[in-house]
Structure 1
């Protein structure tokens, strides 16, 4: 059965490749950054097994490594210098030659992820047995990324090593922001475990009339946008708002449909993602890569979409969740 372990191993191997490449370029701090991040991906099971057997120093060492990552990220910009003029011109010429075919590999990622995830859940029994159902979505994403990489090599005619070097260059351009999705996704679980949702429920009960369905719905939608904007990711805001408002007030008190509330509520949170620099990997990194003069240019362009989508989502929640 295919599990997440091979996906983690591939990610760790790529990060180790990036670390070696940066070390060869004498970018020692950046090399150390990616090497530290690669270790738990390559040796995570061994670290966990050691902790269960009473040997805690590997886990403690990784804790020190996490602190080191934070320190290195705070010390300065880890991005690579811009391309030389000749290389940039060659890339533009290649992009003109390939045209819209360049978008094919990127579009394959969500498509293959959806197909594999659905097949792992609802396909024939022999097919379902090939993929761990509890981790099917992440495994499907890993498979889709490998497929997209292979197709990208075919479309561009590049070699595998060339593709890895381009991925390394993009990773260095992203820098510490590449860690934001996984860090912010875990932040919501930490907040939920520490009782932040209960605190929010108490505050909401003091501010709004909890017997009013529309008041609770507006508080949930606004809270998803606000918390997402603060924490930079709807995955971090969702468990907190569901624990504080969604489940106790909308589902249990007012009878909202949990599946509808969860799906549209998550989409509502992404209205906040469109509006915050905390979602650096979405809103700040593209500014850097495109060398835009206004660091908030992406956020300004997304503002009308965010407001319009928020209003539509509130209407959908009111019409479909109850």
Structure 2
């Protein structure tokens, strides 16, 4: 039974998705211009080049020639390589202001955050529109709720707050897009077939249990390299899962579902999954840069063993 009751044509749905990327790009360009004009930023030009290049690719990449987008990506990567992306002046609220606002709002402060999650879920379940559009709609509704909470929450506050969090994350925010593209490149380049040739010398044909173990561990290792389980599963399924597990009658639903969660175990253990493991360090100003990963490694190991056992039992 199809749960989606709001069907929108591919054209309008794509337009909404492009509109979201334009909004993201414009905010990113704003971050570049703000830092360029910020005399307190020790590397104004490098920071502006990075954020503006990133913003142009996000906002207008659909219409730019591929070579132009590629050139902008190269330009974008130069400032981070030479460590010329810095944080300038921030407009963070004071602790006193934060405490006074919490005294007025209380636990209702969580309603805007839940609104974003609920909108994303509703769009994913009941429409054929990207959940990213749902997140954007949720953010807009949350902004209206926050505005109702306090007249201090003007559009300028949201815009400067977006720039502040972008600056806190820095160049790490471009990793998800680059790693996702890398997964497509690996698949097109035939990396899966190369992996299959290597594994063929280790896993005897027909030994499904050993194939499952290698498949699961391969998902973990490749996700640690890629930083993204979705990018890894295509390559590893072509190279290991298909020829050494699924080809011998294993249930593709069980194997596919759990292979992906095995990849998530790798996500818990890698700095390449920057939005999960490095960005929180920056936002929370943690002293130990590897603190998040250190606290997740043991959990990841336990989860991996359990999932391998589950796949072997229910294959």
Which bin holds the TM-score, normalised by the shorter protein?
Answer: 0.7 to 0.9
Residue in structure 2 matched with residue 207 of structure 1 by the alignment: 202
CA–CA distance in structure 2, aligned partners of residues 85 and 266 of structure 1: 38
Partner of 1:263: 257
How far has the Cα of 1:93 moved from its partner?
5.1
1:114 and 2:108 equivalent?
no
Q: Map 1:32-71 to 2 at 5 A.
A: 32-47=49-64, 58-71=65-78
Q: Work out whether residues 184 and 235 of structure 1, in 8 Å CA contact, stay in contact via their aligned partners in 2.
A: no
Distance in 2 (alpha carbons) for counterparts of 1:85 and 1:64: 34
Alignment counterpart, residue 31 of structure 2, candidates 18, 36, 46: 18
Deviation at 1:13, TM superposition (A): 1.8
- Which one has a larger percent helix, Structure 1 or Structure 2? 1
Mapped to 1, the partners of 2:240 and 2:61 lie a distance apart of 35
RMSD: 2.5
Q: CA deviation at 1:152?
A: 4.2
Deviations 1:53-112 (A, max 9, x none): xxxxx4323222111111111111634268699835534554565454333333333322
Supply the distance in 1 between the matched residues of 2:293 and 2:89 (Cα, whole angstroms): 23
Runs of 5+ consecutive residues of structure 2 not aligned to the other structure:
1-11
Q: Under a length normalisation based on structure 2, what TM-score does the superposition of the two structures give?
A: 0.84
Which one of 228, 245, 251 corresponds to residue 233 of structure 1? Answer: 228
Question: In structure 2, which of residues 105, 111, 114 is the aligned counterpart of residue 104 of structure 1?
Answer: 111
Distance 1:315 1:292, change over 3 A: same
- 1:282-301 CA-to-partner distances (Å, cap 9, x unmatched) read 21222222222221111111
1:6 to 16, 19, 26: 19
With over 3 angstroms needed to count, the CA separation of the structure-2 counterparts of 1:184 and 1:95, relative to structure 1, is farther
Q: Say yes or no: does 1:166 pair with 2:161.
A: yes
1:318 to 285, 301, 312: 312
Tell me if structure 1 keeps the 8 A contact 2:91–2:160. Answer: no
Counterpart position of 2:46: 29
- Asked if structure 1 preserves the Cα contact closer than 8 Å seen for 2:187 and 2:234, the reply is yes
User: Equivalent residue for 1:282?
Assistant: 276
Cα distance in 1, alignment partners of residues 291 and 104 from structure 2:
29
State the 1:212 CA deviation. 1.2
Farther off after superposition, 150-159 or 223-232? 150-159
Pairwise mapping of residues 297-312 of structure 1 onto structure 2 (< 5 A)? 297-312=291-306
Does structure 1 conserve the Cα–Cα contact (< 8 Å) formed by 2:220 and 2:263? yes
Aligned counterpart, 1:127: none
Contact (CA 8 Å) 1:234, 1:266: kept in 2 or not? yes
Q: Distance in 1 between matches of 2:50 and 2:253?
A: 40
Task: Give the structure 1 partner of residue 80 of structure 2.
Answer: 73
Counterpart in the other structure of 1:175: 170
Q: Deviations over 1:110-145 (max 9, x none)?
A: 322121121114xxxxxxxxx4xxxx3343343334
* Aligned partners of 2:195 and 2:240 also within 8 Å: yes
Change in CA separation of 1:297 and 1:119 when aligned onto 2, cut-off 3 Å = same
- Which secondary structure does the structure 2 equivalent of 1:46 belong to? coil
Helix, strand or coil for the counterpart of 2:94?
helix
